Amino acid sequence: MSAETPAPLLTAAAANLAGWHDLQLRALGCRTERNADWWWTTDDAPGLYLRAIALRPDAPLAAVTDRLHPSGWSGICDPWAILDAAPAGFLPDGDRPWMARPVAPVAPGALPDGVSITAVHDPSELVEHELAAALGFGATIPEPGAWHGPAILGDPRLGIWIARRGGEAVGTAMAFREAGVLGVYAISTLPSQRRRGIGGALTRTAVSFDPSLPAVLQASEIALPLYAAIGFRTEGIFRTWVRGPRG
């Protein structure tokens, strides 16, 4: 955490991440639980999702590891990168930066030629979003509806978008209001469409979902310049711990 970053910002970012997971997994029929220290699911959820997220820096690890599904892959997020999950059989899966953007007007920017960005409103578009996101992230193609249940479409906290070129889905984005911040998720672009401004346009669209809130996201190293150009700055480091093979 940088010296300038107030602790409540990362606490809010962790709560937002947990809330986004909770919405997604409950829509898929998974059970979730939460207390002051942790959010977690007791079910064998899709590998896209974490199984537990710490909600404060001093969250006791032993309080959650025995509550996770006993088989399959488990991923735990430590939003402050200070826990040691190795004694519980987990391996570190890398550190990545938290980025945050203060409340500020969002410059609309120009869409790349031939690209449109539209909100997702129905289950068929949600399946289209799943496929495009999987291709963008280089993930195994999910069965339709395996990542996102249609029930998420009715939640006013969540915005979902698809970028299309020539009618083909080429990028995705989500934004989620929770804990006083706007979480930006699922920014992806098909490999063949990268470095054309689509990712930046999708990020600006997501931030515009509620520009009255500070925006937070978990960035990959390759995307840092993209987010920095939109006003995001690195504010901390989160760590993921994993156990078992990812399904």
pLDDT (tens digit, 9 = 90+) per residue, 140-161?
A: 999 999 999 999 999 999 999 9
Specify if 108 maps to a domain: no
Residue 77 shares a structural domain with residue 134:
no
Specify if 107 maps to a domain: no
Specify if 1 maps to a domain: no
Residue 30 shares a structural domain with residue 138:
no
Residue 143 shares a structural domain with residue 176:
yes
pLDDT of 2 > 50? The answer is no
Residue 92 vs residues 77, 139, 202, 245: alpha-carbon distances, Å: 10, 20, 30, 13
pLDDT of 3 > 90? The answer is no
Predicted confidence band of residue 232 (pLDDT cuts 50, 70, 90): very high
pLDDT of 6 > 80? The answer is no
Residue 205 shares a structural domain with residue 135:
yes
Residue 143 shares a structural domain with residue 174:
yes
Specify if 159 maps to a domain: yes
Residue 18 shares a structural domain with residue 128:
no
Q: What is the domain count for the chain?
A: 2
What is the domain extent for residue 18?
Answer: 7-97+237-243
Residue 229 shares a structural domain with residue 140:
yes
pLDDT of 207 > 90? The answer is yes
Q: Which residue, chain included where needed, has tokens 């906290």?
A: 157
Q: What is the mean pLDDT of residues 45-63?
A: 93
Residue 226 shares a structural domain with residue 147:
yes
pTM of the model: 0.94
Residue 158 shares a structural domain with residue 78:
no
